[in-house]
């Protein structure tokens, strides 16, 4: 039975995506501030909370003594225009609880990835992740005009995979033997995405989760 025309076959804008800029994003639950040296101390506390840098399959999470170096490198990448990074702030108490980034930005194809995300252990399963993703996705689709937003996850990181799936993202495929990890193991990368015509449904689901 036909379900109507495939939206992917419709004409789409051919102009390049607007260049993502470091701007403050916020809603009732979180505030995302463009990353800077002023966030180092808060991020050190965030990664120490639950020692999240020890989580398997998440080498993007720095140990406390690596945070300053990572922030400096990330800020350099942001200044070069290849990424846009934020510190995640819990608006209920003003704490810096994590970090997230737009990366793999393809202006020509109007796509980007949300990644290198981490949250303090005490901020997990509190609604912070859903609120953060709502802010990031709304900005990507409604302000920048993205056609697709990707998420890439280690195949063994089942908690992150389930979290991405709860956002309403669909699995696109698996990049096999995609990366050599610091310990010499191979990472198969599971690729998910949300497309522009799927955003309204995903947004409604996220807003419902936050109201609950």
Q: Classify 178 as helix, strand or coil.
A: strand
| Concatenated DSSP letters of 1-33 | ------GGGS----SPPPPP----EE-SSEEEE
* Rounded Cα–Cα distance for residues 60 and 23 (Å): 23
Contacts of 56 (CB under 8 A, 6+ apart): 156, 157
Closest Cα to residue 101, out of 61, 66, 64?
A: 61
* Rounded Cα–Cα distance for residues 165 and 183 (Å): 27
Domain range list for the chain? 21-211
* Rounded Cα–Cα distance for residues 206 and 155 (Å): 24
Alpha helices in the chain (DSSP H): 40-48, 67-79, 128-138, 158-166, 199-211
Paired tokens of 86: 């934020």
Note whether 32 and 89 are within 8 A (CB).
yes
Q: What is this structure's pTM?
A: 0.92
Supply the pLDDT for residue 47.
98
Q: In which region does residue 100 sit, left (phi positive, over 0), alpha (psi from -120 to 50) or beta (all else)?
A: beta
CATH number corresponding to 21-211: 3.40.630.30
Note whether 168 and 202 are within 8 A (CB).
yes
Note whether 117 and 61 are within 8 A (CB).
no
Query: Tens digit of pLDDT per residue, the chain (212 long)?
Result: 445 557 666 677 788 888 899 999 999 999 999 999 999 999 999 999 999 999 888 889 999 999 999 999 999 999 999 999 999 999 999 999 999 999 999 999 999 999 999 999 999 999 999 999 999 999 999 999 999 999 999 999 998 999 999 999 999 999 999 999 888 999 999 999 999 999 999 999 999 999 88
């Amino acid at each position: 039975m036909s379900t109507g025309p495939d939206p992917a076959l419709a004409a789409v804008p051919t102009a390049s995506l607007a260049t993502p800029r470091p701007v403050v994003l916020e809603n009732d639950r979180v505030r995302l501030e463009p990353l800077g040296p002023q966030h180092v101390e808060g991020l050190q506390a965030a990664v120490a909370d639950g020692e999240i840098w020890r989580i398997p399959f998440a080498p993007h999470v720095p140990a406390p003594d690596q945070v300053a170096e990572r922030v400096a490198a990330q800020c350099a990448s942001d200044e070069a225009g290849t990424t846009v990074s934020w510190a995640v702030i819990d608006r209920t108490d003003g704490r810096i609880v994590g970090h997230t980034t737009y990366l793999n930005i393809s202006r020509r194809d109007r796509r980007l990835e949300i990644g290198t995300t981490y949250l303090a252990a005490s901020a997990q399963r509190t609604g912070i992740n859903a609120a953060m993703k709502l802010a990031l996705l709304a900005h990507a689709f409604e302000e920048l005009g993205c056609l697709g937003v990707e998420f890439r996850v280690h195949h063994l990181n089942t908690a992150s995979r389930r979290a991405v799936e709860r956002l309403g993202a669909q699995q696109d495929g698996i990049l096999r033997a995609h990366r050599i990890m610091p310990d010499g193991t191979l990472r198969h990368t599971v690729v998910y995405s949300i497309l522009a015509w799927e955003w309204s449904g995903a947004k409604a689901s996220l807003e419902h989760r936050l109201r609950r």
